[in-house]
Chains A and B, each alone.
Chain A
Amino acid sequence: MTLAFILVIAAALALVFILSVTLSRNQQISRGVGLAAQIQPIDVEAFRTLVDPLEDDYLRRRLPAAEFRLVRRERLRATAAYVRTAGRNAAVLVSMGQSALSANDAQTVDAARQLVDNALLLRRNAALALIRIYVALAWPNSGMAVAPILHGYEQLNGSAMLLGRLQNPAAPIRISAAL
């Protein structure tokens, strides 16, 4: 009977999750335009400094080991916050790109597809980078490769620019500097 209880609970949880996805999907469809407001700006320069391995090397040479670990953990927490924001922005851009996939203009559709692909890649890499950051939090002396996130974020920015320009040729400057 314990097994039955476990399976019933698991089935109920799965059902609740699937129904909540259905509800949020319906809300997303009706919400639409509010998506752009969900993008949170990122200070790309500060992000770049945080993930620069040369900075880490410099701190390692200059600081005593215990102090370096403290500083490194603080930097890792800050990096995690940036990566989470980048991942959330990527998710918003996936939704925005998908809404442009139904456009009549082939060039816009291509740009939208490129934006969606880049955003998905970034979202995937952000999840993997967060795992690496949490591992590095436990072992602050280990190396950490978050640079691909930064590169992906910049690529995403470029894709968003292109799509924005194609969607609104009259105002090419409107694109997502907020990214």
Chain B
Amino acid sequence: MRFPAFFAFAFLSAIAHLALYAADEMPSITAENFWRIDWAGLLIEGPLKFALVGEIFAQVFGSYASLARLGKFLIRSAGVALVLAAAIAAAYTPKDGVFGIISGAHVLEQTIYLIEAGLLASIFIASSYFRLSIDRPLFGIALGLSISACVHLATWAVIANGGWANSTRARLDFLNMATYHVCVLIWFYYLLVPARVSQKPAVPLPENDLDLWNRELERLVHQRLPQP
């Protein structure tokens, strides 16, 4: 299997959301137990998301020996900076003394999505700077996950910090759900619909002045280059 972390994430995330939906609908489940189930889901989903980000990173940078060390350094630096930023954001997020289990879940959501969105943005920035071509299925997975992470970060930041009315929070919940469904469609599209086969040949290198080329070749052949 090429994307084990992605399939584990998709499978367990679906189960966690179904369990949460069932807990919400069943009258026998108390509000407190509902939030406990939500916490359990978050604690399973969080590490899975980071494993998935790691899988994306490894597949984007892993095949280029010249970037392996730099890539690891960049992603680790970004990770440390993001954990620090998420900790500061969590420290400044207002806590609810009465319903700590709820505000705690909101802060945890904000923390997970802040780190996830930051790491994914870092991967996109680095791959764009080096013009690395990401193959279609991997790009689809990264794109869907990134859109989901960015939208969820924004909504959970508002929910956790805004002190808004429940009706507004419910609307943001719908926005989250709608975004997630769009991302699932993106994953289906990129994973199941084959890419259009291009008839174009590989990009030819440019034609140039023969004299200049010969001169350059001669210089390269006769030059004593220092060993790398």
Q: What is A's interface to B at a CB cutoff of 8 Å?
A: 1, 3-4, 7-8, 10-12, 14-15, 17-19, 21-22, 24-25, 29, 32-33, 35-37, 39, 44, 91-92, 94-96, 98-100, 102-103, 112, 116-118, 120-121, 123-124, 127, 151, 154-155, 157-158, 160-161, 163-164, 167-168, 173-179
Contacts and interface: CB of A to CB of B under 8 A. Distances in A.
B81 interface: no
Contacts of B65: 117
B132 interface: yes
Contact of B200 (A32, A98, A167): A32
Contact of A7 (B121, B146, B154, B163): B154
A173 B225 CA distance: 22
A1 B215 CA distance: 65
B53 to A, nearest CB: 13
Contact of B205 (A25, A36, A98, A154): A36
28 contacts: A3-B157, A4-B160, A7-B154, A8-B154, A8-B157, A11-B151, A11-B154, A17-B125, A18-B143, A21-B124, A21-B128, A22-B139, A33-B200, A33-B203, A94-B132, A95-B203, A99-B203, A102-B202, A103-B202, A121-B66, A124-B130, A154-B220, A154-B225, A155-B225, A167-B205, A174-B213, A177-B209, A179-B216
Nearest to B195: A29
Contacts of A118: 66
Nearest to B118: A14
Given A3-B92, A175-B213, A176-B208, A124 B203 contact: no
Given A11-B150, A14-B121, A175 B205 contact: yes
A8 B113 CA distance: 12
B93 interface: yes
B110 interface: yes
Given A7-B154, A32-B200, A96-B205, A124 B70 contact: yes
A176 B66 contact: no
Contact of A4 (B124, B130, B158, B213): B158
Contacts of A12: 150, 154
Interface in B128-183: 128-134, 139, 143, 146-147, 150-151, 153-154, 157-158, 160-163
Nearest to B209: A177
Most chain B beta carbons < 10 A, residue from A4, A25, A35, A44: A4
B208 A100 contact: no
Interface of B: 64-67, 70, 89, 92-93, 110, 114, 117-118, 120-121, 124-125, 127-134, 139, 143, 146-147, 150-151, 153-154, 157-158, 160-163, 198, 200, 202-210, 212-217, 220, 223, 225-226, 228
B203 A100 contact: yes
Nearest to B114: A7
A174 B205 contact: yes
A3 B203 contact: no
Residue of B110, B124, B206, B210 most packed against chain A (CB within 10 A) = B206
Given A32-B203, A98-B133, A124 B162 contact: no
A29 B198 contact: yes
Contact of A157 (B67, B131, B146, B220): B220
Contacts of A11: 117, 150-151, 153-154, 157
Contacts of B157: 3-4, 7-8, 11
Contact of A173 (B70, B121, B214, B228): B214
A95 B121 CA distance: 21
Nearest to A35: B203
